[in-house]
């Protein structure tokens, strides 16, 4: 998790690709792009990309049209082709991606979920900026305690001062600002035109996105430490939050009244993930819990040695969590640990998952904190590539086959997920403590200097 924006918050041609990766500091020669999805579909999309780049006339136009029809599925292949492309091909790829950004829309562009979706994959439904990039706008907002939440119209951030504000995505102008009376350390979420945000004093606030008007306020106090620094989840009109004392609260989205609650353990700093009627969360009493939302009962509780350090993440085949002893893949129906993977000392960061590629961080130097990023193939649970910056980095996030990280050296890096090849990096005005947010074909980030950036 990032030093403050995540649950247990703390501060502190493949030959060309191989050569390029070596120059940027990858620990190993990366393999060629591992295509997402079924192999037949992957091969077909790869062939379309090759045809788009090498053919002319009607054949090229036909490939372009078919790539457009593939939609989101084709984007990782297009971004993976960028590092080895000629200047002309790179421009063609960028033009096609820009066109797709105009036509493709997230499932609901007016909503914003923590880590991109209820599965907490950290993979955002946005065509990513592929570079060269520039700062579209920058505004001074004050010290922000989390990653920005972004919809089609608004960028929303909470401040250490207790103020909470929304700004326009077009130019960063202030839409509204309200005082919550307590710092915000968790990413706000947006659903049905409403912003749900938790404050450190263990209150859950619901505001209208368009005006900032308070709709309701819910107290989730309880437990030995009554602080709340985790994001909520909204599912079928219900707000779910794991509050102090590891108490799960189910709150009516429109009314702000309690529907039911359930004690899960001693403490939790994990944002819940949801798939179907099952909700999962990591607990500080060395466990992961699963709750059936229909019966409102805990269906299993699985022990994780030395506790969880991230939110749970849904893959197609397993429930993933990072603990102090490494990564674990759990059976979502029983909680049984089906596999574990250790890569250095696990970092207290969130993970990111897309197309069978899992990005996670680790500690290689205890004096520098979380410094290393590794991408693992879930097919065989082997590392595809890794890079150690030697200084602290944020949680990774993904969009369109690109993984983004911010660093304490005031830089954002964009790398191809499947190979580790760096597409671009950009220097900002201060250290970056929180994972950037891809949205609207742009990237939004905050710095320790109190600046909010829009990068395109």
Which pLDDT score, from 0 to 100, does residue 317 have? 85
Contact yes or no for 424/430 (Cβ under 8 A): no
- Where do we find the tokens 């759990």? 330
As a whole number of angstroms, the distance between CA 370 and CA 391 comes to: 7
Q: For residue range 375-421, list pLDDT tens digits in order.
A: 999 999 999 999 999 999 999 999 999 999 999 999 999 999 999 99
Residues in the chain: 456
The whole-number pLDDT of residue 303 equals 87
Q: Which of 20, 76, 84 is nearest to 54 (CA)?
A: 84
Tokens coding 410 = 């005031």
Side-chain half-sphere exposure of 61, counting CA atoms within 13 A? 2
Q: pTM here?
A: 0.89
pLDDT digit string (tens) for 45-81? 999 999 999 999 999 999 999 999 999 999 999 999 9
Tell me: pLDDT of 231 over 90. yes
Task: Kindly report the CATH class assigned to 110-455.
Answer: mainly beta
pLDDT of residue 143: 96
Highest mean pLDDT among 106-115, 312-321, 391-400: 391-400
How many Cβ atoms are within 10 Å of 257's Cβ, its own excluded? Answer: 9
DSSP 21-54: HHHHTBSSPPPSP---S-HHHHHHHHHHHHHHHH
DSSP codes, 119-143:
T---B-SSPPP-SS--EEEEEE---
Confidence of residue 268 (pLDDT cuts 50, 70, 90): confident
**What does the pLDDT read at residue 307?**
59
Domain boundaries in the chain? 110-455
């Amino acid at each position: 998790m990032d030093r403050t924006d995540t649950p247990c918050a703390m501060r502190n041609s493949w030959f060309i690709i191989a050569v390029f990766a070596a120059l940027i500091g990858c620990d190993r020669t990366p393999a060629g792009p591992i295509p997402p999805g079924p192999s037949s579909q992957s091969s077909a999309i790869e062939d379309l990309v090759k045809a788009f780049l090498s053919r002319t006339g009607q054949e090229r136009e036909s490939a372009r049209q078919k790539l457009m029809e593939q939609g989101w599925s084709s984007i990782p292949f297009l971004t993976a082709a960028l590092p080895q492309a000629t200047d002309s091909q790179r421009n063609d790829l960028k033009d096609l991606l820009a066109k797709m950004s105009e036509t493709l829309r997230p499932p609901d562009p007016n909503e914003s979920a923590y880590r991109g979706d209820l599965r907490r994959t950290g993979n955002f439904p946005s065509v990513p900026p592929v570079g060269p990039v520039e700062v579209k706008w920058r505004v001074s907002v004050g010290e922000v305690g989390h990653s920005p939440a972004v919809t089609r119209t608004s960028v929303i951030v909470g401040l250490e001062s207790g103020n909470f504000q929304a700004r326009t995505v077009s130019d960063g102008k202030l839409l509204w600002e309200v005082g919550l009376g307590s710092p915000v350390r968790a990413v706000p979420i947006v659903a049905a035109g409403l912003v749900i945000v938790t404050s450190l004093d263990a209150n859950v606030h619901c505001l209208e996105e368009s005006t900032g008007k308070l709709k309701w306020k819910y107290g989730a106090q309880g437990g030995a430490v009554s602080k709340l620094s985790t994001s909520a989840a909204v599912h079928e009109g219900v707000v779910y939050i794991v509050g102090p004392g590891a108490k799960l609260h189910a709150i009516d989205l429109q009314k702000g009244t309690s529907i039911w609650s359930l004690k899960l353990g001693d403490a939790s700093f994990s944002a819940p993930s949801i798939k179907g009627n099952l909700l999962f969360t990591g607990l500080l009493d060395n466990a992961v819990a699963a709750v059936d939302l229909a019966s409102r009962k805990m269906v299993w509780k699985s022990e994780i040695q030395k506790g969880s350090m991230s939110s749970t993440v849904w893959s197609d085949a397993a429930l993933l969590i990072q603990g102090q002893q490494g990564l674990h893949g759990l059976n979502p129906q029983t909680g049984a640990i089906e596999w574990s993977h250790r890569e250095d000392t696990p970092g207290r960061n969130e993970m990111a998952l897309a197309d069978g590629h899992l990005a996670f961080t680790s500690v290689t130097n205890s004096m520098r904190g979380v410094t290393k990023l590794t991408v693992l193939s879930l097919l065989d649970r082997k590392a595809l590539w890794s890079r150690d910056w030697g200084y602290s980095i944020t949680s990774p996030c993904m969009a369109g086959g690109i993984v983004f990280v911010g660093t304490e050296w005031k830089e954002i890096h964009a790398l191809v997920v499947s190979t580790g090849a760096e597409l671009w990096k950009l220097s900002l005005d201060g250290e970056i403590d929180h994972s950037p947010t891809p949205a609207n074909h742009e990237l939004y980030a905050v710095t320790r200097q109190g600046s909010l950036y829009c990068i395109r």
